[in-house]
Structure 1
């Protein structure tokens, strides 16, 4: 039996993408917490596998040539694991393109815009109306794109796939200033995916590790200093 995947993880939407996939496929893995609020993402050993100092990342001891391989960036990890396991990432080229375009839609659109909406609405030290409105409105637009896409289908790219796993963790209406009732197809999909037992297990992984950043404690304020306002480290 192959050694388990090493999952470098913290309970955030990007981390949940990979934990959900591993749970869905029953892929053996070992959890390696990376406390981003304490700056563990800057440790030299972690930077060797994730040079962008972001998690998640994985090490597969049984890589494509039988040797260990590391992968960073959540979308790339999903693609790698999809190819490795042959699950939730179709081999047929037309079906694969369908999945990939929605995976990249999340990576380049929903994730960054929703992240900015969260920041300006919840974490920014001063309330900047333009920033709040700019990103809240863009998330509203993206929710509309997804709602339209789901009008006549259960999942975003045909069968349930890594595209759904990538998008689902980032649909957090309350924190993004959205009313989910405006988007009935999205609401139904959110529940459909969220009712999957593996999704629930992946979403719950490490939930006790994370402390809220907006609880006013010294620990949360210290974490904000680590997470926000980063510049290049030389």
Structure 2
């Protein structure tokens, strides 16, 4: 049997045993060595199978103790829609269909940060051009549910009252409203979602494990002339959030 299929098969058997209640929530599973012997597979195969179930939220590893059946966590809904983009910027906007909506956030902005090459490409500026860089951490009921890093060209917002997204007369109003106040009309938002694994920094901030599945959303906001005015990278832990994209239908 191919190694890839082998570890997935073992994961599915373990999943069935867990869901059947063979091991209670909080109970320690047999050692990896014992399970490897039981399934007649190598320890690496068994390790990959258990890692799969840890990522899926069924198991949790405890350093120096072993692997335990994890208490189920509800995945909260995050709605992304065209209507929402008309009014949102870097901060999530509450939606009555969402469960556990973000109700608090921390932010930190830096001015005159040179744009790294990938960011400069997304903003159609030159590498090293100065930007305002803002980091966000969003909480729902005290639990971290999303990270975001935003970049705005200083050539657009510099010397204006909206240069800092979370300070000034339009603090926290979002990119669309802030840009409108200086005569920049937003016409479209482009999002590129990609699955990824949590880095050490992301895991620390989100309270998850390194390597846990996350959804990274690369978002860029354009004005009516097609000029990028802001780009952001959002990180959403898969174990905590399900992301729903909603699209309206144009009527003839």
**TM-score, length-scaled by structure 1:** 0.23
Rg comparison, structure with higher value: 2
Answer 1 or 2: higher relative contact order, Cα 8 Å, separation at least 6: 1
Q: If each structure's helix is expressed as a fraction of its own residues, which one has the higher value?
A: 1
